Amino acid sequence: MNKTTKRLVKMRFQTKIDHGDHSESYEFTTRGQLFHKGTQDYLRFEESLSETESVQTTMKWDGRELMLIRQGTILMRQGFEVGKKTIGRYVTPEASWETTATTDKLLVQWPLGKSRGRIQITYQFSLQGQDTGTHQVRLTLEEDTSK
């Protein structure tokens, strides 16, 4: 990826959480920026939680670990690395919790030389020691050529 170029992308973000006998899904579309800095690639986008609350999300990829950083109404920092259990943090205005993720699958394909890419993560997630289930996150990226 060109070291100085920020590329605009359109994204579809999908999450599915399976916990015991029930599952929940969440999906949204947004625009973001994809860029390279040092030895890492970054994807940055804004996630609207409500009319008045939003979170700035950054995904940092070093070729081995994907780091998820959320800043805004919610603060979160969580790494994902296949076959490893990683410790993170989830903070709201009311409380702060330790998180753990055991990553089963991690696929990162930026739209390099192509107009499309994707990120897929499957992991077991715990919040303050409580299992929240199997999380599947899928991002579909498409270079945004509109001005």
Calculate mean pLDDT across residues 1-28.
Answer: 86
Higher pLDDT, 112 or 126: 126
Calculate mean pLDDT across residues 84-112.
Answer: 94
User: For 59-89, what is each residue's pLDDT tens digit?
Assistant: 999 999 999 999 998 999 999 999 999 999 9
Residue 147, pLDDT score: 61
Higher pLDDT, 110 or 130: 130
Higher pLDDT, 78 or 53: 78
How high is the mean pLDDT of the chain?
91
If pLDDT is split at 50, 70 and 90, which confidence band does 47 have? confident
Residue 2, pLDDT score: 45
* DSSP code for 16: E
Class for domain 7-143, per CATH?
mainly beta
* pLDDT surpassing 90 at residue 112: no
If pLDDT is split at 50, 70 and 90, which confidence band does 5 have? confident
Query: Distance between CA 83 and CA 98 in Å, rounded?
Result: 19
* pLDDT surpassing 50 at residue 108: yes
Q: At a CB cut-off of 8 Å and minimum separation 6, what does 65 contact? A: 79, 80, 81, 86
- Using CB atoms within 10 A of its CB, is residue 83 exposed (0-12), middle (13-18) or buried (19+)? exposed
